[in-house]
Amino acid sequence: MEVKHGRGYVYAIEYHIVWCSQYR
């Protein structure tokens, strides 16, 4: 997973947060 860019990094974080929220 190559997500070290500003935009990609933020997107990955938001996606992870949404995933955690859905599978709480």
Predicted confidence at residue 20, as pLDDT, reads 81
What's CA 6's distance to the chain center, in Å?
A: 12
pTM to 2 decimal places: 0.39
How many CA atoms are closer than 13 Å to the CA of 22, on its beta-carbon side?
Answer: 6
pLDDT digits (tens, 9 = 90+) for 1-24: 555 566 777 888 898 899 888 877
Which residues are within 8 A (CB) of 11 and not within 5 positions of it... i.e. 6 or more apart? 3
